[in-house]
Amino acid sequence: MWLLKFSWKNMWRNRNRTAISMAAIFFAVILAVLTSSLQEGVFDNLVKNVVSFYSGYIQVHKQGYWNERILDNTFESTTLLENKILQQANVKAVAPRVESFALASSNEFTKGCMVVGISPESENSITNLSSKLVAGNYLNDNDLGVLVGQGLAKRLRINIQDTIVLIGQGFHGAMAAGKYMVAGILKFGSPDLNNQVLFLALPTAQTLYSAEGMLTSYVLSLENPSLLRETAQHIQATIGSNYEAMTWEEMMPEVIQHINTDKGSMLIIQGILYLLICFGILGTLLMMMVERKYEMGMMVAIGMKKKTLMQLLMFESIMTVFSGCILGIIFSIPIVYYLYVYPIQFTGEFAKAYADFGFEPIFPTSIEASIFIKQGLIILVLSLLLALYPIVKVARLNPVKAMKK
């Protein structure tokens, strides 16, 4: 107990030095938490944007569909299966789809396109499709019209109320052909979607492809996206091996690759930040050792074991570092929360590029508790490792040399 009391007194022997050390740790924690939470927030937002564009967080297909995306790999739509999926914890909404390809023709032009049969209401609850409508009306459940991507409409030189003809191959090699009126034009951020997608009401699409009652996928949105893998595993276990429950990560590995590359770059930046912090803390430790060299020599001379002196210095370091870390975490919470509620907004060309891509032009933060804990712990561990420096010096301390003036 006396050693703790002694450490506490030592900690405040040079208030400025202690304040500098604590401030270095305090700002280090705030900066580390902020960069990490911004990084996580931006990635979460990116995933939210990508997922809500089209894929959803999880999709259920017939086993093998994702490797060979043809209509022959469809499955029968049943209320039982849909309910099984919907009843899973964390599943927010389910939307059925039939997806295939067709040749789209207007009066003068023809272009290959992706045809998606959707349940308009369910689809809207997941991808917010109606918000992408720039002209015309959204579909209803038994609509005979089509929604066309803006790029595709431009290519075919069609507008609302115009007619579009679709020709393709249906279920089990059947001929698929139909003539539809353009009900609306959609604008997507993704050029791929914008230039080639076309939506039909589900029954209309099933009729086109002679696949009545058949689906290529169920698209799912989740209450808590962080439980993505666990949810997919539960669904897979419930629906059995005739189906595949795939996460967006499995369906779009390129997005994960992009995030990982970005995280790698961020790690280098964080590494530099940690390095600067380490130099700051080490500077104060060096000052402290020089200032107290005589005293440490004297304490060993009068009979303080080096082990006790090391404990004394360790307690001092722990108290300083811990105070800095705790204060840093406490102060970073409102800052991160503020930026979560009022995210940093891009402006100018950058914002336009984001908006064109259909992404929100914002830098949101993530308020995951693990970020605060992880960054606090990293700084704590780094600081404590640095605190080993005085301990090593004490281990090598020669009282006679230390007390030489």
Partner 1 sequence: MNTSTSTVIDAHKVSRTFNPETIPVLAVDDVHLHLERGEFTALVGPSGSGKTTLLNLLGGLDKPDKGIIHINGVDITKLPANKLIDFRLHNIGFVFQSFNLIPVLTAKENVELIMQLQHRKKTEIAERVKILFHQIGLEDKVNTRPAQLSGGQQQRVAVARALASKPQFVLADEPTANLDSKSAANLLDVMAKLNVEEKITFIFSTHDARVIERARRVITLVDGQIHSDTARVETNVPHEVDKLKL
Residue ranges binding partner 1 (CB under 8 A): 2, 6, 9-10, 12-13, 294-295, 298-308, 399-400, 403
Q: How far is the CB of 390 from partner 1 (least distance, A)?
A: 16
Q: How far is the CB of 295 from partner 1 (least distance, A)?
A: 6
Q: In terms of CB distance, is 84 or 293 closer to partner 1?
A: 293
Burial class (CB in 10 A: 0-12, 13-18, 19+), 223: exposed
d(CA 92, CA 90): 6
d(CA 376, CA 328): 8
Q: In terms of CB distance, is 198 or 312 closer to partner 1?
A: 312
Q: In terms of CB distance, is 303 or 348 closer to partner 1?
A: 303
Give Cα 327 distance to the centre of its chain: 27
Q: In terms of CB distance, is 8 or 279 closer to partner 1?
A: 8
Q: In terms of CB distance, is 42 or 299 closer to partner 1?
A: 299
B/e letters for 378-388, b = 16+ CB within 10 Å, e = fewer, are bbbebbeebbe
d(CA 196, CA 155): 10
Q: How far is the CB of 296 from partner 1 (least distance, A)?
A: 10
Q: In terms of CB distance, is 32 or 402 closer to partner 1?
A: 402
Q: Facing residues of 103 across strands?
A: 112, 167
Q: How far is the CB of 294 from partner 1 (least distance, A)?
A: 6
Q: How far is the CB of 1 from partner 1 (least distance, A)?
A: 10
Q: How far is the CB of 19 from partner 1 (least distance, A)?
A: 16
Determine how β-strand 197-201 pairs with β-strand 110-118: parallel
Q: In terms of CB distance, is 220 or 299 closer to partner 1?
A: 299
Q: How far is the CB of 281 from partner 1 (least distance, A)?
A: 21
From the list 174, 233, 178, 245, the residue with the least C-alpha distance to 205 is: 178
Determine how β-strand 197-201 pairs with β-strand 243-247: unpaired
From the list 124, 31, 5, the residue with the least C-alpha distance to 331 is: 31
